[in-house]
Chains A and B, each alone.
Chain A
Amino acid sequence: MQITEQEVRTGLRRGRYVTTARVETAVFVALVLEKPLLVEGPAGAGKTELAKVLAEMLSTELVRLQCYEGLDEARALYEWNYQKQLLRLQADRTLEAGSSWQTLSKDIFSREYLLERPLLHAITAERRVVLLIDEVDKSDEEFEAFLLEVLSDFQVSVPELGTIPARHRPVVVLTSNRARELSEALKRRCLHLYVDFPGVEKEAEILALKVPEADEALREQVARFVGRLRKLDLKKAPSIAETLDWCRALLALGIAALDAAAVRQTLSLLLKHEEDIRKAEPKIASALSDSRR
């Protein structure tokens, strides 16, 4: 694919995605090599967002396949629309008795009666799309093996129809939280990118983009405080989205500068586990004194 790194950089920026050189290069290489990009990192660090912005950047459609335990081919690839087939048969019977079996079977096993699921849709779309396979670690090993086949050939075989090759190779982004180890084979076929939480400056930059109403001092404080929280050994570190929510909540409450009382009042927006809140509470004061500096 013809694209320059400069275009990637401006594209991501236009999509209001604050990022590092690392992400830019990885995305660029993935686009040029036309390889799937496997994005890993903690929950809420912006993995899914990256795919969305990528679709926006290439001004194309985002096809999303959310993985979960028990996801199977019928949900991911295609399924015959049995009800419609049946109705067709019945309608046929009442209309005319003469139609031959051949035309009929050709008819009811045609594309019209095929329910396209995300993978098939991504392959047969009119233009190149961005295919996001979200949380691939949540799927089963069996599904992963099946995915491998699709990702290496970009074609799908439907027994009744034959092989359907891809019209355009979709840009594939896989995300994973490492709920389990992915197979070596899958990792080999993908380029790898690790997205960590942004540093304090980057996070302040994100806040400036997404919550421009907040003044700069507050944004800075929020970014610093959240950065400190993430250093604690928490069950679930606050995600970027939670930071944004928190900042908006502070604004709504009319809090212009962080103090211990305000933090305590709103901490449940950042930390969603009771344990984490208990762990963080005694450290609020020290984290705040740091974040003022």
Chain B
Amino acid sequence: MREALTEFLREVRAAGIPVSLAEGIDALRAAAAAGVERERLREALAAAMVKDEIDRPTFDEVFERFFSSGSPRRPKKRRVAARGAAGSAGSGQQSSGAPPARPEWPRRTAAPAVRDAERRRAGEYPREVERRRARRLLLAKPFRELDPLEAEELSALAEEIASRFRGRMRRRLRPAARHGRLDFRRTLRRSIEHGGAALELELRRRRPGRIDVVALCDVSGSVRHATDFFVALLGPCAGLLRSLRVFAFIDHAVPATIEAGRLIPETVMDFHAFSDLGQTLVELEFHYASALTRSTLLLVLGDARNNRRPARADVLGRLRSRVRAVWWLAAEPRVRWGTGDSAIELYRLHCDAVLECADAGSLLAALERLAR
């Protein structure tokens, strides 16, 4: 039995469900406890192996295949071969004569493989799992591949995420008073109520977060979705930062405000212009340098595609010397950095961090770093 289960475990892993060694051992113990009655065996194994309902249909499929055809020790077909490396596809099925070559087991799941399986299985889950699955796919989808409908879904999702994100930020930037230092004066004053015994300690509240943020957001078509998502998350957090200034740019730096999760430029912008970050940086330095101080964190959100205009990375270098740090949130996958008219390699030299933010999930992760 143990042998069969070990074999089964391998099959489950090969199908893309991550099962750790410890979980494998749990599965063996669970099977020993539950016995061989089919239904019970399946549920016991699933409880130990499947930690995400998204994987359940795949698990059931493997279970059916493995334990259906006669003796469990000899699974008749190994469809895994077809799914695995293309090179070994044929060899797995040959059964006559020589022992069949063992198909190559695909290595432990890479996340994209799971996602593929999820895509295939649209509509097979309980409603709530289905919703979560869709959400996960949406967060992992590159901004540039979003269609209008998905973009709309993403902005609805952003709203939902934003409130939780704000809560997290608040707790990190302003820890609860219980961890603060003793406020001696207020404690003494309270102690009078209790005849001089300091029964209630008053703690000094931490001052609001010390970060000044200046965000420079590309609003041209190519990164529009990224900017929308960024703004929807950052907007509600404005009150947690000491200050937040936002500039929108395509070929000029335009001061902007965030209202109800949307970016509103203060003057009219030419949305058909070609991106020109060099010019934008020059303007930022010339007109708005007073916004940049030693406590400023300068965030630049954009793809650094400059239409082969002067990058003026030197200006960014000078700006960096004025501020605490410069973070570049690159709205493009890393593989495309530096290709074509991308000037990111030039800017990179003057950034304290360049974060890959090609999809909503990674942009969210980048923003979480604000509170660290």
- Chain B, 17-67, CB within 8 A of any chain A CB: 20, 22-23, 26, 29-30, 33-34, 39-40, 43-44, 46-48, 50-53, 56
- A29 interface residue (CB < 8 Å to B): yes
B26 touches A35 (CB 8 A): yes
A42 touches B128 (CB 8 A): yes
Distance between B54 CB and nearest chain A CB, rounded to angstroms: 10
A83 touches B53 (CB 8 A): no
Other A-B contacts than A83-B199, A197-B126, 14 sampled, CB-CB below 8 A, are: A5-B34, A21-B39, A25-B40, A25-B43, A26-B47, A42-B128, A70-B167, A70-B171, A86-B198, A188-B20, A192-B47, A192-B50, A196-B128, A237-B128
Complex CA gap A87/B198 in Å reads 10
- A231 interface residue (CB < 8 Å to B): yes
In the complex, per-residue mask of A1-32: 1 if CB is within 8 Å of any chain B CB, else 0? 00001000000000000000110011011101
- The interface residues of chain A lying within 8 Å CB-to-CB of B29 are 32-33
Complex CA gap A193/B132 in Å reads 17
Distance between B148 CB and nearest chain A CB, rounded to angstroms: 20
- Chain B, 335-360, CB within 8 A of any chain A CB: none
Complex CA gap A35/B25 in Å reads 12
Distance between B125 CB and nearest chain A CB, rounded to angstroms: 10
Contacting residue for A29 out of B20, B34, B127, B201, CB 8 A: B34
The verdict on A191 contacting B22 (CB below 8 Å), with A25-B40, A33-B29, A69-B171 known, is no
- The interface residues of chain B lying within 8 Å CB-to-CB of A90 are 197
- The interface residues of chain B lying within 8 Å CB-to-CB of A30 are 47
> Closest residue of chain A to B201, judged by CB?
A82
Complex CA gap A180/B46 in Å reads 22
- A179 interface residue (CB < 8 Å to B): yes
A86 touches B199 (CB 8 A): yes
Contacting residue for B126 out of A37, A82, A86, A196, CB 8 A: A196
B43 touches A70 (CB 8 A): no
B51 touches A26 (CB 8 A): no
- A40 interface residue (CB < 8 Å to B): yes
5 contacts between A and B (CB under 8 A): A25-B44, A33-B26, A37-B47, A72-B176, A231-B127
Complex CA gap A25/B34 in Å reads 7
- The interface residues of chain A lying within 8 Å CB-to-CB of B43 are 21-22, 25-26
- The interface residues of chain A lying within 8 Å CB-to-CB of B39 are 21, 25
Distance between B92 CB and nearest chain A CB, rounded to angstroms: 31
The verdict on A230 contacting B127 (CB below 8 Å), with A35-B26, A194-B56 known, is yes
Complex CA gap A69/B176 in Å reads 12
B171 touches A29 (CB 8 A): no
Contacting residue for B167 out of A21, A41, A69, A231, CB 8 A: A69
- B79 interface residue (CB < 8 Å to A): no
Distance between B209 CB and nearest chain A CB, rounded to angstroms: 16
- The interface residues of chain B lying within 8 Å CB-to-CB of A192 are 46-48, 50-52
B126 touches A42 (CB 8 A): yes
- A273 interface residue (CB < 8 Å to B): no
- B102 interface residue (CB < 8 Å to A): no
In the complex, per-residue mask of B169-212: 1 if CB is within 8 Å of any chain A CB, else 0? 00100001010000000000000000001111100000000000
A237 touches B56 (CB 8 A): no
Complex CA gap A69/B168 in Å reads 8
Count of interface residues, chain B, beta-carbon cutoff 8 Å: 36
4 closest A-B pairs by beta carbon, nearest first, are A25-B43, A187-B51, A42-B128, A32-B33
The verdict on A188 contacting B127 (CB below 8 Å), with A25-B43, A29-B44, A70-B171 known, is no
- A178 interface residue (CB < 8 Å to B): yes
Complex CA gap A196/B127 in Å reads 9
- A140 interface residue (CB < 8 Å to B): yes
The total of Cβ contacts below 8 Å across the A-B interface reads 95
In the complex, per-residue mask of A194-216: 1 if CB is within 8 Å of any chain B CB, else 0? 10110000000000000000000
Distance between A289 CB and nearest chain B CB, rounded to angstroms: 22
- B164 interface residue (CB < 8 Å to A): yes
- The interface residues of chain A lying within 8 Å CB-to-CB of B53 are 40, 194
A86 touches B132 (CB 8 A): no
- A249 interface residue (CB < 8 Å to B): no
The verdict on A29 contacting B178 (CB below 8 Å), with A5-B40, A230-B127 known, is no
- The interface residues of chain A lying within 8 Å CB-to-CB of B20 are 188
Complex CA gap A178/B40 in Å reads 26
> Closest residue of chain B to A87, judged by CB?
B197
Distance between A271 CB and nearest chain B CB, rounded to angstroms: 15
Contacting residue for A33 out of B30, B52, B126, B198, CB 8 A: B30
Contacting residue for A237 out of B52, B127, B164, B171, CB 8 A: B127
> Closest residue of chain A to B19, judged by CB?
A188
Distance between B39 CB and nearest chain A CB, rounded to angstroms: 6
- The interface residues of chain A lying within 8 Å CB-to-CB of B40 are 5, 21, 25
Distance between A140 CB and nearest chain B CB, rounded to angstroms: 7
Contacting residue for B127 out of A42, A69, A74, CB 8 A: A42
- The interface residues of chain A lying within 8 Å CB-to-CB of B178 are 74
Complex CA gap A37/B26 in Å reads 12
In the complex, per-residue mask of A35-46: 1 if CB is within 8 Å of any chain B CB, else 0? 101101110000
- Chain A, 69-92, CB within 8 A of any chain B CB: 69-70, 72, 74, 82-83, 86-87, 90
Complex CA gap A188/B126 in Å reads 23
Distance between B351 CB and nearest chain A CB, rounded to angstroms: 27
Complex CA gap A179/B163 in Å reads 12
A191 touches B26 (CB 8 A): yes
- The interface residues of chain B lying within 8 Å CB-to-CB of A230 are 127
- The interface residues of chain A lying within 8 Å CB-to-CB of B164 are 69, 179-180
- The interface residues of chain A lying within 8 Å CB-to-CB of B198 are 86
> Closest residue of chain A to B43, judged by CB?
A25
Complex CA gap A134/B191 in Å reads 37
In the complex, per-residue mask of B121-135: 1 if CB is within 8 Å of any chain A CB, else 0? 000001111001000
- The interface residues of chain B lying within 8 Å CB-to-CB of A22 are 43
A29 touches B48 (CB 8 A): yes
The verdict on A33 contacting B176 (CB below 8 Å), with A25-B47, A140-B168, A140-B171 known, is no
- The interface residues of chain B lying within 8 Å CB-to-CB of A180 are 164
